[in-house]
Chain A
């Protein structure tokens, strides 16, 4: 590690007073890239009262942490954060900047990239260096993997999908340099976050549930969706979705599994009425047993799972729910089935 080599940056963030796992996952990967480049890892962290969290960033692999622990940085305000970050980029000249695909990251990253006149890839699932030390930013596309590079402009900026890199082992003997960041003085902002409201999430959390039931466009209607939700409940599973189901308004964006949503690795995954589109399937690559139900025997989903059932989910799911409920109330039938 030497100081004259342009650093690898990670834009951290604070959610509910804590640093979310995605920040550590990215620092872990940034450390690997930086070691190959012989560069330092620098993390930016804004928010009031975060100074006591900084040590964990050093333990995860940071060499320098730019801390914005001041009035003006309490909550994410796009214009203030953008001005502060771009000013610091001019000073530190990072070669790579990694940002989590969180709600803040997804708004801030394109603002930073446009302001700096550089490229930006979205929700990467892997980041490697090519033989020239250029960052290959990998995203799933068209049933395969696409590598995006930003050959000339710097920094090379990527947002990173949640859960694709492992949590780094924390080394408590590591420490580093803390540098204070001050918000721009007397800035007139045109948009202002007035209030941040947290709503209790519905259902089981996708990331930790042993069983995940995911529904897609094949549900056909909100009634069809409701049946899939009932199946999830009957199996004590978390309910996930594909983008078309979210676009139809049957479920929230927060339930979306895939590259631009959540990455999950349950014991068992049951995909219902979905076509196996890459954007979704990369989100469940880590599942042990995968099952799909689709009315089209030629659906690409069947090429990506362990067990397939060719049925219209609108008939199959209610029948399955009914059978599961009967099993619960009639143990004799349950024995018979087994």
Chain B
């Protein structure tokens, strides 16, 4: 049976994330208790795995690195249909950049052992680097195809996928085991079902820390990160907003006037 690992990340809920703003005076980020959700694109990655499982069968392990509350999103993945959930959590993992995150996930992938396919979302909504999937691939010595929008052939050991490029796509053949990063076009992720929640109640998630992964403390977290944030600067907008008031129709008319003035509508 196909052995799939899906990497997911707990990110701040998109609505709440908007309130995370640099303080113009202290130039630092406020500490807020922000609710977490599954990174939206990781849902697409999980959906690829779930559809493969429903098709020809697969065993799905979800791994996530994050603080203990991130365990909730791993549980959510189990409720969606994943078979096994592993949370990589240790104070030593904190402050990791993409490199140290990928390295930690890679240690977990190696510890899991035999694997055919590793799936990641194209990017995370908070870091937005897109680097974890490819860097993980290097650390586990697997090839990678990024930005996959369609899995064209998924039988046998040689898969064929369509991956986004400028104004088009490339058709790529990949010999398993391979890492794929998945775009929003790959599928429409399912939502939680009541029966899924009931079934997942019995499933436990496993937590692995520094010692379980057998890594040195200075190769993970902030210490293992080649990049650091050196400065945060507050940027002030130079624009001043003039509001258009009135009824909906008056606003439409006034906006059209502005557009005519600017030479757009005539």
A interface list, Cβ under 8 A from B: 15, 20, 75-76, 78-79, 102-104, 106-107, 109-111, 113-115, 117-123, 130, 136, 140-153, 189-201, 211, 217, 235, 237, 243-244, 246-249, 252-254, 259-260, 267-268, 275, 277, 279, 289-292, 300, 302-311, 315-316, 319-320, 323-324, 327, 334, 337-338
Can you list 28 A-B pairs, Cβ within 8 angstroms, ordered by A? A106-B146, A106-B147, A119-B99, A130-B230, A143-B22, A144-B232, A146-B233, A147-B232, A148-B229, A153-B226, A191-B143, A191-B178, A192-B173, A194-B170, A194-B171, A194-B173, A195-B171, A196-B170, A235-B264, A247-B184, A268-B264, A289-B262, A300-B18, A308-B243, A309-B243, A323-B252, A324-B256, A334-B266
Contact of A323 among B21, B40, B231, B256 (CB under 8 A): B256
- Majority secondary structure of chain A interface residues (helix, strand, loop or mixed): mixed
Residues in A neighbouring B135, C-beta threshold 8 A? 110-111, 113-114
B215 within 8 A of A: no
Residues in B neighbouring A254, C-beta threshold 8 A? 166-167
Residues in A neighbouring B41, C-beta threshold 8 A? 247
User: How far apart are the CA atoms of A292 and B188 in the complex, in Å?
Assistant: 29
CB within 8 Å of A: which of B124-143? Answer: 125, 128-131, 133-135, 137-139, 142-143
Residues in A neighbouring B40, C-beta threshold 8 A? 247
User: How far apart are the CA atoms of A149 and B231 in the complex, in Å?
Assistant: 9
Assess whether A260 is in contact with B128, with CB atoms less than 8 Å apart.
yes
> Chain B: which residue is nearest A234 at the CB level?
B265
Interchain nearest-CB distance for A106 vs B (Å):
6
Assess whether B243 is in contact with A310, with CB atoms less than 8 Å apart.
yes
Residues in B neighbouring A310, C-beta threshold 8 A? 243
B interface list, Cβ under 8 A from A: 14, 18, 20-22, 27, 29, 40-41, 97-99, 102, 123, 125, 128-131, 133-135, 137-139, 142-147, 160, 164-175, 178, 183-185, 188, 225-235, 237, 239-244, 248-249, 251-253, 255-260, 262-266
- Central interface residue in B128, B133, B147, B248, by most chain A CB within 10 Å: B128
Interchain nearest-CB distance for B128 vs A (Å):
6
Known: A197-B169, A300-B18. A319 touches B225 (CB 8 A): no
Known: A114-B135, A151-B228, A194-B160. 17 other contacts (CB 8 A): A115-B138, A120-B227, A144-B27, A144-B234, A150-B227, A191-B145, A249-B184, A249-B188, A253-B184, A268-B259, A277-B18, A303-B241, A304-B237, A306-B240, A311-B251, A315-B248, A337-B260
Assess whether B266 is in contact with A113, with CB atoms less than 8 Å apart.
no
Known: A103-B165, A111-B144. A193 touches B172 (CB 8 A): yes
Contact of B235 among A120, A144, A201 (CB under 8 A): A144
Interchain nearest-CB distance for A113 vs B (Å):
7
Assess whether A147 is in contact with B98, with CB atoms less than 8 Å apart.
no
Interchain nearest-CB distance for A311 vs B (Å):
6
Interchain nearest-CB distance for B231 vs A (Å):
4
- Majority secondary structure of chain B interface residues (helix, strand, loop or mixed): mixed
> Chain A: which residue is nearest B99 at the CB level?
A119
Residues in B neighbouring A122, C-beta threshold 8 A? 98, 128-131
Interchain nearest-CB distance for A293 vs B (Å):
8
Assess whether A144 is in contact with B22, with CB atoms less than 8 Å apart.
yes
Assess whether B165 is in contact with A291, with CB atoms less than 8 Å apart.
no
Residues in B neighbouring A104, C-beta threshold 8 A? 165
Known: A196-B165, A300-B18. A248 touches B184 (CB 8 A): yes
Assess whether A304 is in contact with B128, with CB atoms less than 8 Å apart.
no
> Chain B: which residue is nearest A123 at the CB level?
B128
Residues in A neighbouring B183, C-beta threshold 8 A? 253
Residues in A neighbouring B184, C-beta threshold 8 A? 246-249, 253
Assess whether A143 is in contact with B166, with CB atoms less than 8 Å apart.
no
Interchain nearest-CB distance for A110 vs B (Å):
4
Interchain nearest-CB distance for A255 vs B (Å):
12
Q: Closest 4 A-B residue pairs measured CB to CB? A: A119-B226, A114-B138, A119-B227, A110-B134
Contact of A107 among B21, B29, B147 (CB under 8 A): B147
Contact of B265 among A118, A311, A319, A324 (CB under 8 A): A324
Residues in B neighbouring A319, C-beta threshold 8 A? 248-249, 252
Assess whether B166 is in contact with A103, with CB atoms less than 8 Å apart.
yes
